[in-house]
Amino acid sequence: MFKLLKEKLSKTVSKISETIKKDVETSPEETKEKEDIKKGGIGTAGSDVLKKVKEKVTHKKLSEDKFDKLFQELEITLLENNVAFEVIEKIKDDLKQEILNQPLKRSQISKQIKETLENSIKDLFQEPENLIEKIKHKTEPFVIVFFGVNGVGKTSTIAKFVKLLQKNNLTSILAAADTFRAASQEQIEEWANKLEVPLVKGQYGSDPASVCFDAIQKAKSKNTNVVLIDTAGRMHSNTDLMDELRKIIKVSQPDEKIFVGESITGNDCIDQARLFNEAVDFNSMILTKTDIDEKGGAAISVSYITQKPIIYLTSGQLLDDIVKFDKEKITKTLFG
Amino acid sequence: MLEKLSTSLKGTLSKVAKSIFLDKNLIEELVKELQRSLLASDVNVSLVFELSEKIKTRALKEKPPKTVSPKEHIIKIVYEELVNLFGKKSYELKIEKKKPFKIMFVGLYGSGKTTSISKLANYYTKKNYKVATLGLDIHRPAAPEQLKQLSDQINIPSFISKEKDSIKIYKEFEKEFSQYDILLIDTAGRDALSDDLIKELSSLNKKIKPDETLLVMSADIGQTALEQAKKFHETCNVTGVIATKMDGTAKGGGALTGAAATKAPIKFIGTGEKINDLETFDPTGFVSRLLGMGDLKTLLEKVEDAMSEEEAKDLGKKFLKGDFNLLDLYEQMEAMSKMGPISKVTELIPGFSQLKLPKDVLQVQEGKLKKWKFILDSLTQEELENPEIITSSRIQRIASGSGTTTREIRELLKQYKQSKKVMKLMKGKEPNMEKLMKKFKGKLPKGFT
């Protein structure tokens, strides 16, 4: 992830600064001033004038029009890398504020643009908390609910997370609260068997909240560290199903509510993350399928929209394919 | 965001429609708005620029025919070029007479392959084909069970196995396939750029030699759609695309990109989790949705499916005569419920999307409709035909019979009276839309009259 965006970004930034440089050199206003000085000769005030001219040539203010034109290139780069339209507008505003009406040092144009952009994007990512530590600090079972749109990879993500917990010597129990989709129960059962963790199943068509309740009771009686609740995929725009999710959350009183999203989602990731966040005010996000997407735009978009941290990235179908999301590292990879 | 964009696009289009001269600036403004809308709908970036360049050149160069005004001409160009993106091939999936006609489904994981297979199985079973499914997804846990459970729901056989080699599974059942008209084949979903999937898919493709290969793409997929679709196409020659999850807020620009990249038309769209949530593809409708404008054609198709022609004629006559009783309201509701949730039906009516009915209002309405059906089920034939005889003691009886409250029954009766008034207004002459809308207490959307 982010490899492509990185390449494109650095290309675009250097292209933009080149354009600005060229622009500075050919500005008729300055050439005229230069000539004026030649004609006027150098008197006592000469050194002052010279200084001013020097500043004029090396410092250049950008007009709004020109900025918009220059930004177009960057806009396309961001669009190609799957950053949502709305978020690009926000980045544009940030850059504009910083760069417009502020003299740019010619030698540092490229650096300045890069820095502003870097800050702009870094600001979008929230600092993730250490979930494993948080779990270790709780004596009662720690309850986590996973939710998201259909087919994003909730169940596989849960399996991967259980493996991670096992590596940290934490015990878990699974709640198969997807009582809707065909074979969802069998799917999570296969993972439970493979990972050798207990599973509380539900009847197809039954109330998912009751499955959660049972699992939590069982965890309490057996002193299990973590309860992981797998919910049915649901469209963020379906109010009935969002109500159902609210009920699951009301019954299970989770310590962590995790939104699972795909890194390959386009502009719709904004609506998905926003509506889930509005419905249940989640704590954090996990992005899946990062093996498919090399672009990384969705990570930028959902972070901006929800102001919530991404805690893990997952890829592939193997249990170990889960990595911590590192804000610093990713911004660094992006800007080198 | 999209709403804003489509509003500004509509604004520009109406500016074009109102202007006397079409100058270069206006054309450029239109092209730019169009670009923004398409990009926000996830259409591939280079595809968008290619398209807008084409529209611009055509609009500046081509002289409209004498009978067509310049503005009509440019709107036509925009539409034509957009529809062109879908390819000019037939959008229908023709089932040839051979046993079996093999349709293979490929796609990324989680895009909805297995669900789409069950929908298509249901679609063709209803058309009296003998259909079977074959589960070759050997990787995802419980994938074969999912296919089996879904096939069982519609009473068709499914061939699944615990075997971990997809070619072996195919060989195991191969002899039995000739009993069926159509065989729907589920494959493993994965990243198309991963080598092992490509190996597996291309060897499957060689062995199976499918008659159709459908690429299943989620409506919300972003800019990665292009390379993925290309790679799938290289590996197993995609002949059609299914765009899934079209019931959400995503616009399907990625699926469109996939269709353009494979030169294979979109053939079906998935619009929900239920087995009936499948529509045949209609390019003009899709363009309308992409740009946030309603489409009448798809709606008409739905009505046709749900109501037999005769029923519709009969109901239409009654509408016009103004005798409309609760029985008709009941039939109407039944037909509506066959068409799918109200929220979806209204979305398809031009103008309705502009009325901006909040989604929960529609869903509340849906819940009400269900209750009304219970109420109507508790009425006697006499009461249905002649609702005027329903007195308060009858209302009491109906309430306890249907498990509802008297208030709800009165509400239903009120609705019936209102509908009847509307029907009377429509009687005979051309309906006066303005008057009608006032009756509905709604506002006419701009540009509706």
- pLDDT tens for B285-313 read 777 767 655 444 444 444 445 545 555 55
Contact B223 A80 (CB under 8 A): yes
Let me know if residue B397 belongs to a domain: yes
Helix, strand, coil percentages in chain B from 3-state DSSP, rounded to 5? 60, 10, 30
Residue B242 Cα to chain centre, angstroms: 11
Are residues B80 and B142 both part of a single domain? no
Interface test with A, best of B140, B160, B218 (most A CBs within 10 A): B218
Q: Provide the pLDDT confidence category of residue B155 given band limits of 50, 70 and 90.
A: very high
Are residues B73 and B113 both part of a single domain? no
Residue where a domain stops, chosen among B250, B270, B293: B293
Contact A149 B191 (CB under 8 A): no
Let me know if residue B400 belongs to a domain: yes
Chains A, B: CB contacts within 8 A come to 151
- pLDDT of B6 over the 70 cut: no
Let me know if residue A333 belongs to a domain: no
A266 neighbourhood in chain B, CB within 8 Å: 42, 220-223, 225, 250, 253-254
- pLDDT tens for A112-126 read 777 888 888 888 888
Cβ atoms of residues B207 and B199 within 8 Å: no
User: What are the DSSP E strand ranges found in chain A?
Assistant: 59-60, 104-105, 142-147, 172-177, 199-200, 226-231, 256-262, 284-288, 310-314, 322-324
Cα–Cα–Cα angle for B415, B416, B422, rounded to 5 degrees: 90
Contact A267 B223 (CB under 8 A): no
Are residues B138 and B202 both part of a single domain? yes
Please name the residue of chain B whose CA is at the shortest distance from the CA of residue A89.
Answer: B1
- For chain B, the maximum distance between any two Cα atoms, rounded to a whole number of angstroms, is 75
Are residues B259 and B110 both part of a single domain? yes
The encoded tokens of residue A254 equal 């989770």
Tally of structural domains, chain B: 3
Contact B223 A82 (CB under 8 A): yes
Residue where a domain stops, chosen among B84, B113, B137: B84
Are residues B62 and B185 both part of a single domain? no
Residue B321 is inside which H or E element, if any?
helix B309-321
Residue B287's CB: how many other CB atoms inside 10 A? Answer: 19
Are residues A50 and A10 both part of a single domain? yes
Contact B220 A272 (CB under 8 A): yes
Indicate which CATH number applies to the domain containing A316. Answer: 3.40.50.300
Indicate which CATH number applies to the domain containing B305. Answer: 1.10.260.30
Let me know if residue A253 belongs to a domain: yes
Contact A235 B248 (CB under 8 A): yes
Torsion angle defined by CA atoms of residues A12, A17, A21 and A27, in that order, rounded to the nearest 10 degrees:
80
**B333-337: Cβ within 8 A, 24+ apart:** B333/B369, B333/B372, B333/B373, B333/B376, B334/B373, B335/B303, B335/B306, B335/B307, B335/B311, B336/B306, B336/B369, B337/B369, B337/B373
Residue where a domain stops, chosen among B293, B310, B339: B293
Q: Which of residues B326 and A81 earns the better pLDDT score? A: A81
Contact B223 A270 (CB under 8 A): no
Q: A2: left (phi > 0), else alpha (psi -120 to 50), else beta? A: left
Indicate which CATH number applies to the domain containing A52. Answer: 1.20.120.140
Are residues B241 and B304 both part of a single domain? no
For residue A114, the model assigns a pLDDT of 78
Let me know if residue A67 belongs to a domain: yes
Contact A82 B110 (CB under 8 A): no
Of A188, A267, A316, the CB nearest to B222: A267
Are residues A171 and A109 both part of a single domain? no
Let me know if residue A304 belongs to a domain: yes
How far apart (Å, rounded) are the C-alpha atoms in residues A226 and A144? 7
Nearest chain A Cα distance for residue B47, angstroms:
11
Nearest chain B Cα distance for residue A209, angstroms:
20
Are residues B281 and B317 both part of a single domain? no
Contact A267 B228 (CB under 8 A): no
Indicate which CATH number applies to the domain containing B153. Answer: 3.40.50.300
- pLDDT of B101 over the 80 cut: yes
Are residues B261 and B238 both part of a single domain? yes
Cα–Cα–Cα angle for B18, B20, B26, rounded to 5 degrees: 75
Let me know if residue B16 belongs to a domain: yes
The encoded tokens of residue B269 equal 């769209």
Are residues A152 and A205 both part of a single domain? yes
B143 neighbourhood in chain A, CB within 8 Å: 183, 187
Residue where a domain stops, chosen among A69, A97, A124: A124
Average pLDDT over residues A254-277: 95
Let me know if residue B181 belongs to a domain: yes
Cβ atoms of residues B42 and B250 within 8 Å: yes
Are residues A188 and A222 both part of a single domain? yes
- pLDDT of B169 over the 90 cut: yes
Are residues A199 and A317 both part of a single domain? yes
- pLDDT of A99 over the 50 cut: yes
Are residues B133 and B278 both part of a single domain? yes
B118 neighbourhood in chain A, CB within 8 Å: 182
Q: Burial, B270: exposed, middle or buried (Cβ in 10 Å; 0-12, 13-18, 19+)? A: buried
Contact A268 B143 (CB under 8 A): no
Residue where a domain stops, chosen among A108, A124, A140: A124
Are residues B196 and B120 both part of a single domain? yes
Q: Burial, B411: exposed, middle or buried (Cβ in 10 Å; 0-12, 13-18, 19+)? A: middle
Nearest chain B Cα distance for residue A155, angstroms:
10
**Domain encompassing residue A227:** 131-326
Average pLDDT, chain B: 79
Average pLDDT over residues A15-42: 54
Are residues A72 and A136 both part of a single domain? no
Let me know if residue B447 belongs to a domain: no
Please give the model's pTM, rounded to 2 decimal places.
0.76
Nearest chain B Cα distance for residue A58, angstroms:
35
Residue where a domain stops, chosen among A73, A101, A124: A124
Mapping DSSP to helix (H, G, I), strand (E, B) and coil, where does residue B115 land?
helix
Are residues A111 and A56 both part of a single domain? yes
Interface test with A, best of B38, B109, B122 (most A CBs within 10 A): B109
Are residues B126 and B267 both part of a single domain? yes
- pLDDT of B412 over the 90 cut: no
Tally of structural domains, chain A: 2
Are residues A166 and A255 both part of a single domain? yes
- pLDDT of A198 over the 70 cut: yes
Let me know if residue A331 belongs to a domain: no
Cβ atoms of residues B67 and B283 within 8 Å: no
**Domain encompassing residue B331:** 300-439
Nearest chain B Cα distance for residue A183, angstroms:
4
Rg (CA), chain A: 27
Residue B370's CB: how many other CB atoms inside 10 A? Answer: 10
